[in-house]
Amino acid sequence: MITPLLEGPVLEAAQALLGRRLVSDVGGRTAVVLTEVEAYDGANDPASHAYRGMAPRNRSMFLGPGTLYVYRSYGIHWCMNVVCGPDGVAAAVLLRGGLAVEGEDLMTERRMGRRPLAIGPGNLTQALGVTGDLDGSSVIDGPLRVEGVAMGGRIEASPRVGISRAVDRPWRFALTPD
């Protein structure tokens, strides 16, 4: 088992990721506490990149729990997911935002002074230095890692952002820290 929190039903995994530290060692140490995620249920979810099966881009979604899936969004930004389904099951959690807790200077530099620092999927990857190079890496022992729970709080569910299929599923989860 990887860790009980990363493996299992994607709705549970998504909520379990909230409040955990996301630590990057790409070009220096930066870290956030995750505050916003979305669940995508692979073959069972018309909004998932894996709904129509494997393609070159989404290959890493099928590699098992704890795999990082990084893709280009709108040709410009990088977005990242943590896979939580077993091998061959492409359920994954899109990481959408966090609170900066370490290396804020480096994040500010990478973000070129823009705010917010790490809210929004494209902003989050930029702040942490995550690019397509990390696609397929492990969040357990790779350059970008999910670590222990840092913060508890209240979790709120709402519709996912920016999609046009399966819009009725309230699978976006946001954490309001205590």
Partner DNA sequence: ATAGCGATGTTCT
Partner DNA sequence: GAACATCGCTATA
List interacting residues with DNA (CB under 7 A).
38, 40, 47-50, 52, 55-58, 69, 72-77, 79, 81, 92, 94, 111, 114, 120-124, 160-165
- Please give the helix or strand (H or E) that residue 38 lies within, else none: strand 30-41
CA neighbours within 13 Å on the CB side: how many for 124? 24
| Residue 178 CB, nearest approach to DNA (Å) | 26
- Report the residue number, 154 or 165, with the smaller CB distance to DNA: 165
Rank residues 16 and 82 by Cβ distance to DNA and give the closer one.
82
Residue 159 C-beta: closest distance to DNA, Å: 11
**Cβ nearer to DNA, comparing 49 with 145:** 49
Nearer to DNA, 152 or 170 (CB): 170
- The CB density around residue 135, as the number of other CB atoms within 10 Å, is 21
How many whole angstroms separate alpha carbon 33 and alpha carbon 22? 6
The distance of closest approach from Cβ of residue 161 to DNA in the complex, given in angstroms and rounded to an integer, is 5
Closest distance between DNA and the C-beta of residue 145, in Å? 19
Tell me if 70 sits within 8 A of 78, measured CB to CB: yes
Choose among 64, 66, 53, 108: nearest CA to 87.
64
| Smallest distance, DNA to C-beta of residue 155, A | 19
Nearer to DNA, 149 or 161 (CB): 161
Say which amino acid occupies 149.
V
Q: Which of 91, 77, 96 is nearest to 173 (CA)?
A: 96
